[in-house]
Structures are given as C-alpha cells and as structure tokens.
C-alpha cells in the first residue's frame, strides 16, 4: 500500500507543487513571485556569461560578481563577454523608468539562466537570489527550472551598528556588509558617536579622537550596575580614509551607509574633548558606564559652529541622502539650569526645553538641507516640532512612527519590541552579553512596520524598517555576529517579502539552508531554539 501511495504522490500534480516549494524553500528573503517551470538546468564545465545594457562599467562589476558566484558553485571555467545567443547565463540591464530599480526577473530553464532588471540594484539583488539557487560547491547538481519576478516590499531595509560602545574593526564591518548584501539589506546605519566614544576622525576638531575616542577603562559591567572596570584604557576610531573605504565597500554591494552623529544628548565623549560645548564648565570624562547622561551640548553659537564643522566633514565622507542627527535621550536638566538656554527659550518664545531641542535640531537640519541632504532623527524629535522634511526613526515602540506618519513625516520603524538585536535571544539569564529584554527569533519575525491604524496614504510614509545593534555588552565580533545572525534574516524577510508570504513554519524551513550558508562562511551565528529547524 505504501509503495502505491508513493507512486501516486510522485506522479500527481501535488508533486509539482512540492517542487515549487523546494525552490522557494531555499530562498531568503522570499521573492514576490516564484513560479515553477518544467525541467531543469544542468551546468556545463564551462559557463559563458553575456552582459547587455547601456552602463558598461556597472555591467562589468555585476559580471564579475556573477562569475564569482558561479565559480564558487560549480568550480568550472567561467567566461565573460559572450553574445546572449551563445551564453549560458544572460544578464541584461533593460532601462525602464517606471519600474522599481530594485526589481529583477530571474529565469532558469534548460537553455540556461537569464537575469534582467531595470537597474544595477535589481541585477545585484537577482544575483543574490541566484547565489541561493546555486550555493557554493553544488557542482553537478541540476537546478530546477523556475521563473522569479521580484521586488522589495519596502525601499528602506536597514541594520544599525553601534561602534561607540565597542569599536568594531573595518574588516569585521565589511564582513557584515557582505552578509547584509546577500539578504538584500540596503542600508547600514553607522552609529559613530556616543557618550562612551567618538569614533570618526574630524580634521577640524582633532581632540574628538585624541581625547574623545578613549575611555579610562575597559568596561566589564554586566548590567547597568554595579560597574566593574578592568583598569585598562579602551578606545579607537576610524580615519576618514577608513570610513570612505567602508562607504565604497558598501556601495559595491548596493548598500548605503548612513552616518549618525547623535546630538544634543549622547555627546559626553565630545564634551570630554571640548568642554566649552557644555552648559557647565566640566571637566567631562568619556563615560565608562552605560545609560543616559545628564550632560548634553549647550545650544550656544560655539556648539552650532562645532556641529556645522563636524557635519561638513561628515557629508564629505558620506554621500548618503540621509544624515542621522540622533536626538534621543537628551535630559533637559542642564538646559533648565543654563542662563544661555533660558535666554533662547525667552527670545524665541519657546514653550520649554523640548521646544528648544526642536529649535536646535531645526537649525542643524537647515544646514544639512542647504547641502542637499535630509535628516533622520530618533522619535524623540517629535517632542520638539520637527520640520516636515525630517524622517522619524521610531524606536520606543511603534507609536512615535505612527504619529509621525499621521503628521506626514517619512518613517523608519525600528521598535525595541521586535528589532532590538542587543536584547537577549535566549531566556535570561542564560545569555550574559545582552541588554535586558527577551527577543527570540519568532518575535523578530512578527515585526510588522505597517499598522492598521494608518490610512493607505499615511502608510506610504513608512519607508521600511531597521534592526539595531547596540554594543554595550558586545566587545567581540563573535558576540556581535551572534546577535545579528540569524535574527537579521527574519528582519530581511519581513522587509523584502510580500506581506501575504509571511508564514513562520515556512520561514523556519527556509532558514535551514541559510544557516548552512552562514556556517560555511564562518559566521558565528547563534543556533536558534526553534522547533522544526
């Protein structure tokens, strides 16, 4: 009986459906549409690639990417520059001003592989999908024929990395960029400054890195208290040349690096270097404890000059449309006590210190927009009447983002509840190196940037989402990687795949091959405690 049932199963249409899932179940993020075709493609010992389209320089880069994917997979010879008629792999840029530049179509059939897109972004994403269909060392294996038509659900798909609390070497950042690209993230939000360290060289303000990049002790504290230091100094910074290198490396992977210079709070490292920027005389020390500091920038003309000087250099290094100005967790106590701050409040007819923070940020925003850029701020900026052109990053849950979208701001959703990857993945206290809060993989996968409380018009303001990694408890790169991976894969899927494709069990299935891939790449990922994996 069993063999009869098996025979029926193999020859029945259900079996065809099964192989659709086979292809789709290897892909992450899930494409917008995956359609099974009859047959398969068996690679030859030599693979010829054709490249067609207007932008030769871009095509050359993409051709090199394709060749490296196919060599890793099949270990055969790969030749670039054939005519499409003779090629096994046909890559084409087909300009279409109406189409989403990140979209692509990938078809595999007996005749080979064809990938086309309206822009280089789409071709690049298509190659990442191809990499998953032809994983490393899969020589001799036929690829089931399939047609994939794909485009992201959201245009902004980000990961944030905090290098202020712990310095992360350039090589390790590059490695995260490699992984991000594979899963179609397109933004790295680089948190470069905080109370515990200033990490970017600023030529006009050298003390930011001679003084502000170094703290007295390596911090060993387990939680917010009690504090334990080991007595050894800790620090480091990126030269502008290194930062440019990261920007360029990201660009080659179709990722934009958005720098954050957090102000007016989270600025104690800068105050340690230039105490005259504070409301009290100081001296200040680069902090060796975590949490929120009372000392913030004073809204003086000296501070504006400083901020403009810093941002001028930042904008030279980072070509991103957006510059992140922070704006989170700025206690008002110093401004309440400051004659200078109170004078501005009176002069400008402001209601209180929150309104003063709004005034401060609007003035800085003006400087940024005068340079043709736009700003992002954490959701606290809503307390100070931000200009409508400011994009709001909602971290204290979704409420700030919802309110911002209702007010007409663009929004990036980044709520602690779902996407704070510094929170514990294991049940506390099993994990020593995490922030309080329990965030297992399934809860990350439940992240939904668009809520029912938004009208379709308001929902258009939700540009996407971002997962944040604060590094208070993560001095080593293996710890950083274990916090990102694989939970960032859930974020990647949520932000790329159509809403209707959300399915936990199938996600778990699709995760399997990706964990194998992460393992092969030597990533220190954390094995999630998930049933059915």
Which amino acids are annotated catalytic? 194, 266, 329
**In whole angstroms, how close is the CB of 395 to ligand TNX at the nearest point?**
4
Residues 6+ apart with CB under 8 A from 256: 186, 187, 188, 250, 320, 321
**In whole angstroms, how close is the CB of 412 to ligand TNX at the nearest point?**
12
Q: Which is nearer to ligand TNX, 129 or 193 (CB)?
A: 193
**In whole angstroms, how close is the CB of 477 to ligand TNX at the nearest point?**
18
Residues in 406-465 that interact with ligand TNX by CB under 6 A = 420, 422, 435
Residue 295 interacts with ligand TNX (CB under 6 A): yes or no: no
56-95 footprint of ligand TNX as x/- string (CB under 6 A): ----------------------------------------
Q: Are 525 and 518 in contact (CB under 8 A)?
A: yes
**In whole angstroms, how close is the CB of 329 to ligand TNX at the nearest point?**
5
Q: Which is nearer to ligand TNX, 238 or 395 (CB)?
A: 395
**In whole angstroms, how close is the CB of 414 to ligand TNX at the nearest point?**
8
Q: Which is nearer to ligand TNX, 74 or 470 (CB)?
A: 470
Q: Which residues make beta-bridge pairs with 234? A: 215
CA gap 211, 64 in Å, rounded: 43
Helices (H) and strands (E) in the chain, counts: 19, 21
* Beta-carbon count within 10 A of 357 CB: 27
CA gap 161, 158 in Å, rounded: 10
Q: Which is nearer to ligand TNX, 41 or 470 (CB)?
A: 470
CA gap 196, 270 in Å, rounded: 10
Q: Which is nearer to ligand TNX, 71 or 223 (CB)?
A: 223
**In whole angstroms, how close is the CB of 191 to ligand TNX at the nearest point?**
8
CA gap 58, 42 in Å, rounded: 28
Residues in 94-153 that interact with ligand TNX by CB under 6 A = none
Q: Which is nearer to ligand TNX, 329 or 417 (CB)?
A: 329
Residue 329 interacts with ligand TNX (CB under 6 A): yes or no: yes
Q: Which is nearer to ligand TNX, 295 or 472 (CB)?
A: 472
Q: Are 111 and 143 in contact (CB under 8 A)?
A: no
Query: In this structure, what DSSP letter does residue 499 have?
Result: G
* Beta-carbon count within 10 A of 155 CB: 15
CA gap 200, 318 in Å, rounded: 12
User: Does residue 39 have a cis peptide bond before it, meaning omega lies within 30 degrees of 0?
Assistant: no
338-377 footprint of ligand TNX as x/- string (CB under 6 A): ----------------------------------------
Interface with ligand TNX (CB under 6 A), residue from 41, 156, 335, 395: 395
Q: Which is nearer to ligand TNX, 306 or 395 (CB)?
A: 395
DSSP calls for 292-307:
--S--B--SHHHHHHH
Number of amino acids touching ligand TNX (CB under 6 A): 9
**In whole angstroms, how close is the CB of 381 to ligand TNX at the nearest point?**
11
User: Does residue 264 have a cis peptide bond before it, meaning omega lies within 30 degrees of 0?
Assistant: yes
**In whole angstroms, how close is the CB of 326 to ligand TNX at the nearest point?**
7
Beta strands 89-93 and 112-117, pairing class: parallel
Interface with ligand TNX (CB under 6 A), residue from 74, 183, 274, 470: 470
CB neighbour class for 40 (10 Å; exposed up to 12, middle 13-18, buried from 19): middle
Sign of CA dihedral 298, 301, 306, 311: positive
| Contacts made by residues 210-218, CB under 8 angstroms, sequence distance 24+ | 210/273, 211/272, 211/273, 211/286, 212/269, 212/270, 212/272, 212/273, 212/286, 213/237, 213/269, 213/286, 214/286, 215/285, 215/286, 215/287, 215/288, 216/285, 216/286, 216/288, 217/288, 218/475
Interface with ligand TNX (CB under 6 A), residue from 378, 485, 507, 525: 378
Binding footprint of ligand TNX on the chain (CB under 6 A): 328-329, 378, 395, 420, 422, 435, 470, 472
């Amino acid at each position: 009986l069993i063999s009869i049932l098996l025979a029926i199963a193999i020859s029945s249409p259900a079996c065809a459906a099964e192989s659709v899932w086979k292809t789709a179940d290897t892909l992450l993020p899930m494409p917008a549409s995956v359609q099974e075709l009859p047959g398969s493609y068996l690679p030859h010992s030599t693979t010829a690639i054709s490249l067609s389209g207007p932008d030769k320089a871009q095509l050359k880069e993409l051709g090199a990417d394709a060749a490296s994917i196919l060599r890793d997979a099949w270990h055969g010879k790969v030749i670039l520059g054939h005519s499409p008629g003779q090629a096994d792999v046909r890559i084409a840029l087909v300009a279409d001003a109406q189409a989403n530049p990140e979209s692509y179509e990938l078809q595999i059939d007996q005749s080979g592989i064809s990938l086309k897109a309206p822009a280089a972004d789409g071709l690049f994403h298509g190659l990442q999908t191809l990499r998953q269909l032809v994983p490393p060392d899969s020589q001799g294996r036929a690829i089931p024929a399939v047609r994939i038509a794909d485009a992201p659900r959201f245009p902004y798909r980000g990961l944030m990395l905090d290098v202020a609390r712990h310095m992360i070497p350039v090589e390790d950042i590059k490695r995260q960029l490699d992984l991000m690209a594979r899963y179609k993230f397109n933004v790295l939000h680089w948190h470069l400054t905080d109370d515990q360290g200033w990490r970017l060289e600023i030529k006009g303000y050298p003390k930011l890195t001679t003084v502000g990049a170094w703290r007295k002790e390596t911090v060993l504290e387990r939680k917010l208290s009690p504090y334990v230091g080991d007595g050894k100094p800790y620090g480091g910074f990126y030269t502008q040349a290194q930062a440019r290198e990261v920007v360029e490396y990201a660009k080659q992977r179709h990722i934009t690096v958005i720098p954050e210079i957090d102000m007016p709070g989270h600025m104690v490292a800068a105050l340690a270097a230039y105490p005259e920027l504070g409301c009290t005389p100081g001296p200040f020390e680069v902090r060796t404890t975590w949490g929120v500091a009372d000392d913030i920038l004073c809204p003086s003309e000296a501070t504006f000059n400083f901020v403009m000087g810093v941002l001028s250099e930042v904008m030279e290094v980072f070509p991103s449309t957006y510059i992140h100005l922070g704006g989170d967790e700025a206690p008002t106590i110093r401004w309440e006590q400051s004659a200078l701050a109170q004078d501005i409040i009176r002069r400008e007819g402001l209601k209180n210190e929150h309104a003063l923070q709004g005034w401060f940020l609007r003035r800085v925003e003006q400087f940024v927009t005068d340079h043709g850029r736009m700003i992002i701020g954490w959701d606290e900026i809503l307390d100070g009447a931000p200009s409508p052109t400011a994009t709001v990053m909602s971290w204290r849950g979704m409420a700030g983002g919802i309110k911002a979208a209702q007010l007409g701001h663009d929004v990036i959703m980044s709520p602690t509840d779902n996407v704070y990857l510094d929170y514990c993945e294991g049940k506390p206290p099993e994990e020593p190196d995490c922030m309080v809060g329990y965030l297992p993989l399934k809860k990350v996968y439940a992240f939904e940037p668009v809520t029912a409380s938004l009208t379709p018009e308001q929902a258009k303001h939700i540009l996407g989402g971002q997962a944040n990694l604060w590094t208070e408890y993560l001095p080593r790169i293996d710890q950083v990687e274990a916090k990102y991976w694989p939970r960032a894969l859930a974020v990647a899927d949520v932000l790329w795949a159509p809403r209707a494709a959300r399915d936990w069990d199938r996600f778990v299935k699709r995760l399997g091959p990706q964990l194998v891939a992460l393992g092969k790449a030597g990533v220190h990922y954390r094995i999630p405690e998930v049933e059915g994996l």
